[in-house]
Structure 1
């Protein structure tokens, strides 16, 4: 009976893990899948579903739904199913009135006519002023505008087309607003020579602003004199632009051209990823890695030689039974493992850092393997959120193990703090920022259903896993110190100016930040300038270099601190490498004032709010790496010398 019960329980666990695995790889559930698994083949004349996405601007960072402006709409607007990451990114994917048929060109197709009133004209002017772009999707490919380069090189592509332009016209000194109401689409396809089917490999557009004219009364079938397929009259840049003003008549039209391409379906995203000049990027990354590797090698060599000399000297003194007084780091052996002040808080931060380390490490590995391609919108953010939730078990385990070593007895208390301390702070900032976005009536505001899902992931999965990890970690045998600790703490001698805690901590964060600041520029650009980030292989290498750098700089400064007979290393080891987050936030501030053109207070609050969350997370991650490196180092050196 007992064996049957165990087998039944085991089968339930296997079923649960299989269910989690299926949900993890399901695109409809969370958007986490290997891209390019099922390419779609289109016969000639097959209908193509063009979908519209959000309106975006790098000046405001506030997305809006496409139909928040009076564009032409179908009879019934249908929202596409979106994963968690897409909702958090502000994506609102809906159907559109554009009718494409595979490999059947169209000219001067009329969508609809709109008469602007004063309110609508102002809405268009405001969006044009803020340089909003319209985003569309065809066969999972985003719409891009080709921008020819003056110098030789590949064409640069801009995501989405501008709603309109602002400028002067016909010698007038007044600044006017012109609406892009004619879209000239180009659909690139790769033809299969055997089956005569084709696959879409490109989706481009050239927008025009044209004041359409026609004869007689308006109807949907009226012939435009400014754009007539019967007379081969097409829209050009020489036509009179359409000014946005009250009581203006706007006729929306479009062309569709199909162009055969040699680009294969598996490589269709390569062109979209070449949106910036990557030569400087590659050179800077390689240069940064070489410098950091050289410094790391030098630091490691110096530390190994110095430590070997110290340990040999101390052991020789014990062997020769010399009466010489102990000096250096051996002198504080009876105080070095004394529990620090606010040890509970340190346990919470270390546990949260382990949670972050597991999340980022697994995410980057999956990204390098190609599971988180940019073609999978929202997949990266969804994967990070889910991994954060499931890494809670390791957070609880690490926090409880350290808490027990500090002679703690109430493991439930430390588990509760680990489960709520960091997420509560982040959720509070996120809630305030979401309220600001909601006040601007932006589609970037997280709806109630998604907010409930986030709370469920936190309370329903993450918190229980933290408690499970804490229970398991607290049941483990306590970590024994290599040396005994005296009851009476030793007085710390006066330190030199360069060993001052504040100075030492601030110096320690420079090298880890130097390992990532070049890559940080491109990450910030992809987030705030609406570009793709795809070089995950280099990101993984930089992350490994960051781990090594944080560990080595913390070990070096910890060694100097112990040599000066200062044994309060617990918190300082955490803050030494964690101080790199301060430089990250300062660099983000520098980036804001030098690279971005954000002027609205709400947009500025969003930028600094999200960068504050990112810097806080970076502090927890790097601080935990430095702490564990110093923890391993001190245990190693004090277990290597003979102490009475």
Structure 2
């Protein structure tokens, strides 16, 4: 056991390194799987610049269409680019812009338009500057960002504070190219050419919007152009410190788990020796986990719901494995615009047969008769709450007129996927599980009447046990949670999938071990109702993660407003519910294997 922990960690690191392809190979393979083509241009050929969205920098979910602000529009009208499902889910809406960025054609100073900003337009720009709005654009599939303007605070005599608002009207585009391909683009705004739009200056402001373009050759290859985003200032910095923190956390948790496993193995060994002796006096005492052998395999109450939870948790477990597999081969490279969301939707639909099969199979093994109800419950046990939450949050986004609100066509496609693919596959898997001839294996016969459970102290009840069970796995993922939250609910980009895969494996191992230990302690005091307890203890990490959401929202982020708050806590509630189902299934399966093992190892009459 002393060598098991470092060896296991070393093996995980080696497997992760083996799974990682070189950056060039990852990018090429990712583009092939996503069906993308490399763009080549001739000198003077127009490369369109697409405007994606605008919104408050501190509220990543609160985004709006670019032309919500009264910017200059193209002379031939605004054209919208057809986007994929994942891009729309991510909140992108690509619209054409009046900027002309011909390939390898410098422009010193070009005028886009000249506008007379009235009070209504000034109010919109002023509100955007006050809330620190930014804009996002795409040029040859490369993202680029800039701020709408800046705000200055002036202190006047007498303690009077005055705010000045400036709108950036000039943009410098710095584009790098290699032969016939675009490699890099950067945007800078000139504060010297900002227009004062402060309140009370004048009723109207004349603003002249201009831009310049500079093309610079570079030796960076096209396959390596996305590597710069791995070093982008908004990304996680100090990679070595990140690795050290994760390894330190994982080693600490694994050592604690190994220590707990060692104690448990020694106690079990002593129990096996004691229970193997044929001592009539010892039999008369009847204390310990051996003497609940006639009730330990009694099926749990609400087994319909229990089996649905286990089936859905198993599906989410395999879904996470498939996502990690795609990530480790380089499919989810930085800023591939919604590929992760597309993969989640498609893989969830395709893996729904796993949920149906597992739920129905266990339900039959537990002598359940309402198998149709079990299959239907499995279809809705996770999707039902998620769809209700989505309907509420999408309505909020529609009220705000945000790009976070999915278009009607996209909603129809998702509903069709759920009704045409997810539900039928769940039903087919349920029918296959129902017809499965496997029977529940129980080393001991179950008594006709349940044994009375003795009075237990408060710390051995369900809730305190869940707190103890969830703390150790949560401590294993605590460090990594910040980077994940900063990526999903911020502007950082998560690219270190190998670290996340290692943390995921550690989380599964720790959850299994801690649930097994608590199940043993529960049986040792002759509490034989371990089925639901093991599931709740295994899934209790989800409650800790949701508690961390409050800490992150208050202490680690600047999010504000009803829409952003609703999106954050609403969708994280669904994510934590998925964590609860997945880790609860892991805990119950590990406990089932453990209980079968210990009761098979002794003689039970």
Q: TM-score, normalised by structure 1?
A: 0.84
Aligned mate of 1:199, from 176, 181, 186: 181
Corresponding position: 1:252 with 2:209: yes
- Please state how far the C-alpha of 1:375 moved relative to its aligned partner: 3.5
| 8 Å Cα contact 2:537-2:584 kept in structure 1 | yes
Alignment of 1:197-346 (within 5 A): 197-209=179-191, 237=192, 241-243=195-197, 246-274=203-231, 275=233, 276-279=236-239, 280-317=241-278, 325-346=285-306
| 8 Å Cα contact 1:365-1:540 kept in structure 2 | no
SS of 2:382's equivalent in the other structure is helix
**Which residue number in structure 2 is paired with residue 182 of structure 1?**
170
Alignment of 1:153-192 (within 5 A): 160-168=145-153, 173-190=161-178
**Which residue number in structure 1 is paired with residue 55 of structure 2?**
56
| 8 Å Cα contact 1:360-1:384 kept in structure 2 | no
Q: In the superposition, relative to structure 1, how do residues 32 and 618 fare at CA in structure 2: closer, same or farther (>3 Å)?
A: farther
Corresponding position: 1:43 with 2:3: no
Tell me how far apart the structure 2 counterparts of residues 142 and 403 of structure 1 sit (CA, whole Å): 50
Alignment of 1:495-506 (within 5 A): 495-506=456-467
**Which residue number in structure 2 is paired with residue 100 of structure 1?**
101
SS of 1:287's equivalent in the other structure is helix
Tell me how far apart the structure 2 counterparts of residues 111 and 244 of structure 1 sit (CA, whole Å): 23
Tell me how far apart the structure 1 counterparts of residues 561 and 37 of structure 2 sit (CA, whole Å): 43
Q: TM-score, normalised by structure 2?
A: 0.89
- Please state how far the C-alpha of 1:268 moved relative to its aligned partner: 1.6
Corresponding position: 1:409 with 2:369: yes
Deviations 1:24-77 (A, max 9, x none): xxxxxxx98547964333333332221111113243331101112221222132
Aligned mate of 2:398, from 433, 438, 447: 438
Deviations 1:454-494 (A, max 9, x none): 21111111111111111111111222322111111101112
Aligned mate of 2:311, from 348, 351, 356: 351
| 8 Å Cα contact 1:165-1:177 kept in structure 2 | yes
SS of 2:100's equivalent in the other structure is strand
Tell me how far apart the structure 2 counterparts of residues 283 and 198 of structure 1 sit (CA, whole Å): 41
Tell me how far apart the structure 2 counterparts of residues 33 and 354 of structure 1 sit (CA, whole Å): 30
Tell me how far apart the structure 2 counterparts of residues 332 and 38 of structure 1 sit (CA, whole Å): 64
Corresponding position: 1:561 with 2:522: yes
Deviations 1:340-365 (A, max 9, x none): 12121111111111111111110111
Aligned mate of 1:425, from 385, 404, 414: 385
SS of 1:100's equivalent in the other structure is coil
**Which residue number in structure 1 is paired with residue 117 of structure 2?**
116
| 8 Å Cα contact 2:57-2:134 kept in structure 1 | no
SS of 2:204's equivalent in the other structure is coil
- Please state how far the C-alpha of 1:525 moved relative to its aligned partner: 0.4
- Please state how far the C-alpha of 1:579 moved relative to its aligned partner: 1.1
Q: In the superposition, relative to structure 1, how do residues 296 and 240 fare at CA in structure 2: closer, same or farther (>3 Å)?
A: closer
Deviations 1:82-110 (A, max 9, x none): 11111111100122211112222111111
**Which residue number in structure 2 is paired with residue 212 of structure 1?**
none
Q: In the superposition, relative to structure 1, how do residues 254 and 323 fare at CA in structure 2: closer, same or farther (>3 Å)?
A: closer
**Which residue number in structure 2 is paired with residue 152 of structure 1?**
none
Deviations 1:418-446 (A, max 9, x none): 10122111111111111111101111111
- Please state how far the C-alpha of 1:382 moved relative to its aligned partner: 0.8
**Which residue number in structure 1 is paired with residue 67 of structure 2?**
67
- Please state how far the C-alpha of 1:161 moved relative to its aligned partner: 0.8
| 8 Å Cα contact 2:126-2:197 kept in structure 1 | no
Q: In the superposition, relative to structure 1, how do residues 101 and 244 fare at CA in structure 2: closer, same or farther (>3 Å)?
A: farther
- Please state how far the C-alpha of 1:500 moved relative to its aligned partner: 2.2
- Please state how far the C-alpha of 1:301 moved relative to its aligned partner: 2.7
Tell me how far apart the structure 2 counterparts of residues 575 and 309 of structure 1 sit (CA, whole Å): 29
**Which residue number in structure 1 is paired with residue 92 of structure 2?**
91
SS of 2:197's equivalent in the other structure is coil
Tell me how far apart the structure 1 counterparts of residues 436 and 525 of structure 2 sit (CA, whole Å): 35
Aligned mate of 1:393, from 353, 359, 380: 353
| 8 Å Cα contact 2:167-2:194 kept in structure 1 | no
| 8 Å Cα contact 2:90-2:337 kept in structure 1 | no
Deviations 1:580-613 (A, max 9, x none): 1111111110110112223322322222111211
Q: In the superposition, relative to structure 1, how do residues 338 and 444 fare at CA in structure 2: closer, same or farther (>3 Å)?
A: same
Tell me how far apart the structure 1 counterparts of residues 513 and 168 of structure 2 sit (CA, whole Å): 56
Alignment of 1:397-546 (within 5 A): 397-477=357-437, 478-546=439-507
Tell me how far apart the structure 1 counterparts of residues 121 and 209 of structure 2 sit (CA, whole Å): 15
Tell me how far apart the structure 2 counterparts of residues 389 and 449 of structure 1 sit (CA, whole Å): 18
Q: In the superposition, relative to structure 1, how do residues 296 and 201 fare at CA in structure 2: closer, same or farther (>3 Å)?
A: farther
Q: In the superposition, relative to structure 1, how do residues 427 and 445 fare at CA in structure 2: closer, same or farther (>3 Å)?
A: same
Q: In the superposition, relative to structure 1, how do residues 402 and 36 fare at CA in structure 2: closer, same or farther (>3 Å)?
A: closer
Q: In the superposition, relative to structure 1, how do residues 635 and 46 fare at CA in structure 2: closer, same or farther (>3 Å)?
A: same
Q: In the superposition, relative to structure 1, how do residues 493 and 105 fare at CA in structure 2: closer, same or farther (>3 Å)?
A: same
SS of 1:449's equivalent in the other structure is helix
